[in-house]
Amino acid sequence: MHRLLPLTFLLAFASLFGIAWIVTVTDPHTSPWYIFAGFDALLFVFVFCALGTLLYFVRTRFYRRYDPNWYFKTSFKMAFFVALFAALVAQLTMAQVLNIFNLFGVIIAIGLFAFWSYLGKKS
Protein backbone atom coordinates (compact mmCIF):
# COMPACT_ATOMS: atom_id res chain seq x y z
CA MET A 1 0.00 0.00 0.00
CA HIS A 2 2.79 2.43 0.76
CA ARG A 3 3.82 2.25 -2.89
CA LEU A 4 0.82 4.44 -3.70
CA LEU A 5 2.39 7.45 -1.96
CA PRO A 6 3.83 9.04 -5.13
CA LEU A 7 0.39 8.82 -6.73
CA THR A 8 -1.28 10.46 -3.74
CA PHE A 9 1.36 13.20 -3.74
CA LEU A 10 0.72 13.92 -7.42
CA LEU A 11 -3.03 13.81 -6.90
CA ALA A 12 -2.76 16.30 -4.04
CA PHE A 13 -0.88 18.83 -6.11
CA ALA A 14 -3.05 18.32 -9.19
CA SER A 15 -6.08 19.11 -7.06
CA LEU A 16 -4.26 22.11 -5.60
CA PHE A 17 -3.81 23.49 -9.11
CA GLY A 18 -7.52 22.87 -9.75
CA ILE A 19 -8.42 24.78 -6.60
CA ALA A 20 -6.12 27.64 -7.63
CA TRP A 21 -7.73 27.74 -11.07
CA ILE A 22 -11.24 27.87 -9.63
CA VAL A 23 -10.32 30.60 -7.15
CA THR A 24 -8.51 32.82 -9.67
CA VAL A 25 -10.57 32.37 -12.85
CA THR A 26 -14.21 31.88 -11.89
CA ASP A 27 -16.63 34.52 -10.71
CA PRO A 28 -18.59 33.29 -7.69
CA HIS A 29 -21.68 35.33 -8.56
CA THR A 30 -22.16 33.94 -12.08
CA SER A 31 -20.67 30.45 -11.74
CA PRO A 32 -22.87 27.39 -12.10
CA TRP A 33 -23.39 25.06 -9.15
CA TYR A 34 -21.00 22.37 -10.43
CA ILE A 35 -18.03 24.74 -10.08
CA PHE A 36 -18.71 24.87 -6.34
CA ALA A 37 -19.17 21.09 -6.21
CA GLY A 38 -15.87 20.66 -8.06
CA PHE A 39 -14.17 23.02 -5.65
CA ASP A 40 -15.51 21.05 -2.70
CA ALA A 41 -14.40 17.73 -4.22
CA LEU A 42 -10.94 19.10 -5.05
CA LEU A 43 -10.61 20.48 -1.53
CA PHE A 44 -11.46 17.05 -0.10
CA VAL A 45 -8.94 15.30 -2.37
CA PHE A 46 -6.20 17.81 -1.59
CA VAL A 47 -6.60 17.64 2.18
CA PHE A 48 -6.99 13.86 2.13
CA CYS A 49 -3.93 13.16 -0.02
CA ALA A 50 -1.63 15.87 1.33
CA LEU A 51 -2.41 15.25 4.99
CA GLY A 52 -2.34 11.47 4.58
CA THR A 53 1.07 11.60 2.93
CA LEU A 54 2.39 14.04 5.52
CA LEU A 55 1.10 11.94 8.43
CA TYR A 56 2.59 8.80 6.93
CA PHE A 57 6.04 10.32 6.60
CA VAL A 58 6.00 11.92 10.05
CA ARG A 59 4.82 8.74 11.74
CA THR A 60 7.32 6.47 9.97
CA ARG A 61 10.15 8.92 10.54
CA PHE A 62 9.74 9.19 14.30
CA TYR A 63 8.19 5.87 15.25
CA ARG A 64 9.11 2.73 13.30
CA ARG A 65 7.48 -0.03 15.23
CA TYR A 66 4.82 -1.41 12.89
CA ASP A 67 4.49 -2.43 9.26
CA PRO A 68 4.49 0.46 6.73
CA ASN A 69 1.12 -0.72 5.40
CA TRP A 70 -0.41 -0.26 8.85
CA TYR A 71 0.94 3.30 9.00
CA PHE A 72 -0.42 3.94 5.51
CA LYS A 73 -3.93 2.76 6.39
CA THR A 74 -4.18 4.56 9.71
CA SER A 75 -2.65 7.81 8.42
CA PHE A 76 -5.09 7.99 5.55
CA LYS A 77 -7.97 7.03 7.83
CA MET A 78 -7.16 10.02 10.06
CA ALA A 79 -6.74 12.26 7.02
CA PHE A 80 -10.14 11.16 5.71
CA PHE A 81 -11.96 12.57 8.73
CA VAL A 82 -10.07 15.87 8.61
CA ALA A 83 -10.75 16.17 4.87
CA LEU A 84 -14.42 15.35 5.38
CA PHE A 85 -14.66 18.08 8.03
CA ALA A 86 -12.94 20.62 5.76
CA ALA A 87 -15.18 19.74 2.81
CA LEU A 88 -18.39 19.96 4.84
CA VAL A 89 -17.43 23.28 6.40
CA ALA A 90 -16.51 24.63 2.95
CA GLN A 91 -19.86 23.47 1.59
CA LEU A 92 -21.74 25.16 4.43
CA THR A 93 -19.73 28.33 3.89
CA MET A 94 -20.47 28.38 0.17
CA ALA A 95 -24.17 27.89 0.88
CA GLN A 96 -23.89 30.74 3.42
CA VAL A 97 -25.50 28.70 6.20
CA LEU A 98 -22.47 28.27 8.44
CA ASN A 99 -23.28 29.16 12.03
CA ILE A 100 -22.31 27.77 15.42
CA PHE A 101 -25.18 25.26 15.49
CA ASN A 102 -24.30 23.83 12.07
CA LEU A 103 -20.61 23.75 12.93
CA PHE A 104 -21.31 21.77 16.10
CA GLY A 105 -23.58 19.49 14.07
CA VAL A 106 -20.77 18.74 11.64
CA ILE A 107 -18.32 18.16 14.51
CA ILE A 108 -20.72 15.78 16.26
CA ALA A 109 -21.57 13.90 13.05
CA ILE A 110 -17.94 13.39 12.07
CA GLY A 111 -16.97 12.57 15.64
CA LEU A 112 -19.65 9.87 15.85
CA PHE A 113 -18.64 8.51 12.44
CA ALA A 114 -14.98 8.39 13.51
CA PHE A 115 -15.92 6.78 16.82
CA TRP A 116 -17.91 4.12 14.99
CA SER A 117 -15.13 3.61 12.47
CA TYR A 118 -12.40 3.11 15.04
CA LEU A 119 -14.19 1.51 17.97
CA GLY A 120 -17.54 0.27 16.74
CA LYS A 121 -16.25 -2.57 14.56
CA LYS A 122 -15.78 -6.08 15.82
CA SER A 123 -12.34 -7.51 15.11
Model confidence pLDDT, tens digit, residues 56-89: 999 888 877 878 888 888 899 999 999 999 999 9
Tell me: pLDDT of 50 over 70: yes
| Per-residue pLDDT tens digits for 35-46 | 999 999 999 999
Tell me if residue 66 falls in helix, strand or coil: coil
Q: Are 107 and 72 in contact (CB under 8 A)?
A: no
Distance CA 116, CA 73 (A): 16
Tell me: pLDDT of 123 over 60: no
**Cα distances (angstroms) measured from residue 101 to each of 39, 97, 104:** 24, 10, 5
pTM above 0.95, yes or no: no
> In which band, very low, low, confident or very high, does the pLDDT at 28 lie, cut at 50, 70 and 90?
confident
> What's the pLDDT at 26?
92
Q: Are 110 and 78 in contact (CB under 8 A)?
A: no
| Per-residue pLDDT tens digits for 86-122 | 999 999 999 999 999 999 999 999 999 999 888 766 5
Tell me if residue 46 falls in helix, strand or coil: helix
